[in-house]
Copies of this chain bind each other. A is one copy, B any other.
Amino acid sequence: MKDRKIVLVGTGFVGMSMAYSFLTTGGIDELVLVDVDEEKAIGETMDLQHGLPYARNKLVIKAGGYEECADAEMVVITAGTAQRPGQTRLDMTAVNTKIMKSITENIMASGFDGILLIASNPVDLMTYVAQQVSGLPKNRVIGSGTILDTARLRYLMSEYLGISTSNIHAYIMGEHGDSSFVPWTHAYIGCKNLLEMLDENHRDLQDLNEIYHQVQQAAYEIINRKKSTYYGIGLSLNRLVRAILDDEHVILTVSCYQNQEYGQEDLYIGVPAIITRAGVETIIKLKLNEVDQGKFDASCETLKEIIHSTIKPILG
């Protein structure tokens, strides 16, 4: 296996925003672009290559086929259809399940034995599909989950409080999409409890709900204005890839296989987890209060229902 070689499957806006960001962050040695539209992958490759003289580090970029996955340390899948105005993430399930199945089969046929990172929507379900089809160990198939949602939350809270995002410690958990939630009792600013801080500043929990609402609506708001969203997720994926390749042992909210950590099993959903070069090392277990556990369970139920009604029949 070649260290720090990654293959990107799906050279749309999301995948390319991640790809482009590696020129300026460094952290990988080789990047191969794969797309069903082979000409597009070639065009994207050329466009990126012309930025290489200004890149932070030496980096090999090329277009290729699935055989390139054979010795890759990671494959990132961002293929699929972008969310369109009016469409929910779940609407895309059936069509994307078939795409994901075929892509995963192609990847595995190369002999790939690394870490699979999925961003295609609906991401929690597509990660499930990729794991089931690949048969890779569950901790080595990871979905981007609520990493972007959490980034959005932190940005908005940072603006609201006038404190750097690096000191905003709060997670969005659950399904990436409509049924996610924030366990506010487990939110801290620096080492100070958020609710306590609000109280002292005579601010209102209502403000936080408004912020969460903005997070939940963010994708729709952006899609209405620029057709699809990709820079926020592009940088989130870059962050996730580097956390893995650098063996950071960092806690990120990603879509992880559940094994009763939060009382649920046999599905992928967004929870905080320690990320290492081996993939998901441990899920961090927060003590959710009743309301939050209820939201988590509801989020899981939604997903499980679709797994049974839509996905399992396709996977056979």
Contact = CB atoms under 8 A, between A and B. Distances in A.
A153 to B, nearest CB: 9
B192 A284 contact: yes
Contacts of A231: 16, 20, 23, 44, 47-48, 50-51
A166 B56 CA distance: 11
Contacts of A164: 58, 248-251
A110 interface: no
Interface string A172-209: 00000000000100111111100010001000000000
B235 A29 contact: no
Q: Which of A158, A167, A191, A286 has the most CB of B within 10 A?
A: A191
Contacts of A17: 20
B29 A190 contact: no
Given A167-B250, A190-B169, A247-B58, A155 B47 contact: no
B29 A165 contact: no
B169 A191 contact: yes
A170 interface: yes
A146 B5 CA distance: 32
A232 B40 CA distance: 16
A175 to B, nearest CB: 18
Interface stretch (A64-72, A125-133, A218-226): A218-226
Interface string A275-301: 000000100111100000000000000
B163 A50 contact: no
A25 interface: yes
A88 B285 CA distance: 43
Contacts of A287: 196
Interface in A213-268: 218, 221-222, 224-226, 229-232, 234-236, 238-239, 242, 246-251
A152 interface: yes
Nearest to A190: B251
B251 A167 contact: yes
Interface of A: 3-4, 16-17, 20-21, 23-27, 29, 39-40, 42-44, 46-58, 148, 151-152, 154-155, 158, 162-167, 169-171, 183, 186-192, 196, 200, 218, 221-222, 224-226, 229-232, 234-236, 238-239, 242, 246-251, 272, 274, 281, 284-287
Given A21-B24, A52-B151, A192-B284, 15 more contacts: A42-B225, A44-B226, A46-B218, A46-B222, A49-B155, A50-B152, A51-B232, A53-B155, A54-B236, A54-B239, A57-B246, A166-B166, A171-B191, A187-B191, A200-B285
* In the A-B complex, the 7 residue pairs with the closest CB atoms: A43-B225, A50-B232, A51-B235, A24-B24, A43-B226, A190-B251, A164-B250
15 contacts: A21-B23, A29-B246, A43-B222, A43-B225, A44-B226, A46-B218, A49-B155, A52-B155, A52-B158, A53-B166, A54-B235, A158-B249, A169-B188, A187-B191, A192-B284
